[in-house]
Amino acid sequence: MRRDPFTIALFVPAMLALAFGSASAADQALLTQARALFQPLPKVMDSPENPVTPAKIALGRLLFFEPRVSVDGTVSCARCHLVSLYATDALPKAIGALGRPNPRNAPTVLNAALQFVEHWRGDRKSVEDQAMQALIGPPSFGNPDYGSAMAKLKAIPGYPARFAAAFPNEKDPITPENWANAIGAYERTLVTPSPFDAYLAGHAAAFSSAQEAGLREFVQTGCPACHNGVGVGGGMFQKFGLVEDYWKATGSPEPDKGRFDVTHNPTDLYFFKVPSLRNVARTPPYFHDGSVATLPEAVRVMARVQLGKTLTEAQTGRIVTFLESLTGTLPPGFAEPPELPAAGFHPAAGK
């Protein structure tokens, strides 16, 4: 059916009214689309490999804050995952034991267990794998080997009994695997439900019309191609710089080859894990190298180098408004570091 210009002039506004004018129908369509793309947070990010138990959580919460296990006694998980900063450190690249710089930005541990792999290059299989390897990572805890790390834990009064409670029926429960499983179990409880989760669950009042407009912009711009699922990201690898070289847009000093340096597969050149966007408004600076300081600039860079789009200021602002709806409530007790077992003394640190 052909239409003359006059008919079209009448028809287009009618279509727009159908799409946007009728708030409830358009809003329902948006929610339906959102539910196809994203899922709300679970209560706990449980794992069949490391079932979460209260004793493991309690021990893992202590260990998360325990610096005496590091080579110089200054590094705990909380050293770079500060409870005051949504479990980040506000640095472009974290600084670990003995002042050693990390090669990449420290992401938040909140909701981290949702991700399909950990670390920017995906070279940690799980939060447990991350916690275990961190013990001997030179710019992390910096221990020369697992044995010396475990010796430090064993020397602190209070830990043997707590490991025994968390891992019953084990002869010598203070092992790197159990360190990892305890911290992993704790981290699996660190979910931060947000207004977006309430929206996905059908609580329309949880979302303002500005947030709906932001979600619409986010979807229409094409962001959910990578940033989807329960983490709004964290589910795949993607090349950073699909359309143009990322380091020209970010001003990064030199390109990081990303996953290529792990697999040596040419198709992995400049590939990184797509980060989860949960709490992204509270976790600057951005990208694997912390090269961008603000969220609006990060949104502009992503649209440009991933999608070949130059966003207007209004579009950028709407997307930022949506991203702010991903800021969640901190897990109960997360911002209350526990008292550590007393009278411990870092055995390696001089006398």
Q: Is 68 in the site for a copy of itself (CB under 8 A)?
A: yes
**Stretch 250-269: interaction string toward a copy of itself, x if CB under 8 A:** -x-x----------------
Residue 111 DSSP code: T
How far is it, in rounded angstroms, from Cα 139 to Cα 273? 21
* Residue entry with tokens 């986010």: 218
What HEC string does 49-99 produce?
CCCCCHHHHHHHHHHHCCCCCCCCCCCCHHHHCEHHHCCECCCCCCECHHH
Q: 339: which 2 tokens? A: 């008292």
Buried b (16+ CB within 10 A) or exposed e, 94-126: bbbbeebebebbbbbbbbbbbbebbbbbbbbeb
Stretch that binds a copy of itself, among 3-11, 30-38, 106-114, 329-337 (CB under 8 A): 329-337
Write phi, then psi, for 273 (nearest 5 degrees). Answer: -65, 135
Our CB check for a copy of itself shows the closer of 72 and 129 to be 72
Q: Least Å distance between CB 49 and a copy of itself? A: 28
Q: Is 225 in the site for a copy of itself (CB under 8 A)?
A: no
Q: 275: which 2 tokens? A: 């980060």
How far is it, in rounded angstroms, from Cα 147 to Cα 165? 21
Our CB check for a copy of itself shows the closer of 68 and 273 to be 68
- CA-atom Rg of the chain in angstroms: 23
Residues ≥6 apart with Cβ < 8 Å to 188: 44, 45, 46, 47, 50, 52, 113, 127
Q: Least Å distance between CB 111 and a copy of itself? A: 17
Q: Least Å distance between CB 134 and a copy of itself? A: 17
Our CB check for a copy of itself shows the closer of 68 and 300 to be 68
Q: Which of 295, 302, 311, 326 binds a copy of itself (CB under 8 A)?
A: 295
Q: 18: which 2 tokens? A: 């159908």
Q: Is 332 in the site for a copy of itself (CB under 8 A)?
A: no
Interacting residues with a copy of itself between 70 and 109 (CB under 8 A): 72-74, 79, 82-86, 89-93, 95, 98-99
Interacting residues with a copy of itself between 27 and 66 (CB under 8 A): 65-66
Our CB check for a copy of itself shows the closer of 9 and 349 to be 349
Q: Least Å distance between CB 62 and a copy of itself? A: 8
Interacting residues with a copy of itself between 275 and 294 (CB under 8 A): 281-282, 284-285, 289-294
How far is it, in rounded angstroms, from Cα 263 to Cα 17? 51
Positions touching a copy of itself (CB under 8 A) are: 65-68, 72-74, 79, 82-86, 89-93, 95, 98-99, 251, 253, 281-282, 284-285, 289-295, 330, 335-340, 342-346, 349-351
